[in-house]
């Protein structure tokens, strides 16, 4: 990439770029799903659902839900002899993704085949969408908060007999520049 970069820095840069591209693709998929659900709801002849603000809100919740709720940081692996625990945040995200996708699929079906479902089913589909993206957004926030707390608790550095809690990269760089060993516990 750049001349002064090490191969590891290049790898991290490419990996982060790929992650951003992946998440942007997920956000676009959420926008499309939100558009289909909004289009189906606007056919319900309810004034609230036929407004531009409602359609924009559906698209934005789709973008947010699929961006935050699909790629959740996982819990640390448990030791092999323990029974693996079900991660409720991952389950919440998966359920939300499923509900939002089903709502989008039903909406596409009704639009493409020009079907007119009963009014109650239009509201059921809308509630699946709203519940699904709400679950995704909630799981995304909880998962990221949990991951940042775990990292903050684990980043403890030992240098020459005393412990300091601070930024991992800064302390390691200082220790290595001074020729001292830096141990991460």
Question: How far, in Å, CA of 168 to CA of 125, rounded?
Answer: 47
What's the pLDDT tens digit per position in 110-127? 888 888 778 888 889 889
Give the start-to-end residue ranges of the domains of the chain.
Answer: 7-72+88-154
Write down the pTM of the prediction. Answer: 0.63
Picking from 135, 145, 148, 143, the residue whose alpha carbon sits closest to that of residue 30 is: 135
What's the pLDDT tens digit per position in 32-91? 888 888 888 887 777 777 788 888 888 898 888 888 776 666 666 666 667 667 778 888
Q: What does residue 156 show for φ and ψ, rounded to 5 degrees?
A: -125, 130
């Amino acid at each position: 990439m750049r001349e002064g970069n090490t191969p590891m820095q290049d790898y991290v840069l490419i990996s982060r770029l790929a992650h951003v591209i992946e998440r942007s693709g997920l956000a676009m998929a959420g926008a499309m799903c939100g558009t289909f659900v909004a289009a189906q709801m606007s056919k319900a002849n309810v004034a609230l659902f036929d407004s531009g603000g409602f359609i924009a809100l559906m698209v934005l919740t789709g973008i947010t839900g699929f961006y935050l709720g699909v790629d959740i940081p996982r819990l640390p692996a448990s030791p092999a002899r323990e029974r693996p625990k079900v991660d409720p945040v991952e389950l919440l995200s998966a359920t939300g993704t499923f509900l939002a996708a089903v709502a989008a699929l039903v909406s596409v079906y009704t639009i493409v085949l020009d079907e007119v479902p009963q009014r109650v089913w239009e509201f059921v589909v809308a509630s699946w969408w709203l519940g699904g993206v709400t679950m995704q957004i909630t799981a995304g926030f909880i998962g990221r908060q949990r991951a940042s707390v775990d990292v903050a608790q684990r980043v403890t550095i030992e240098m020459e007999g005393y412990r300091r809690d601070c930024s991992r990269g800064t302390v390691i760089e200082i220790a290595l520049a001074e020729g001292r060993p830096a141990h991460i516990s």
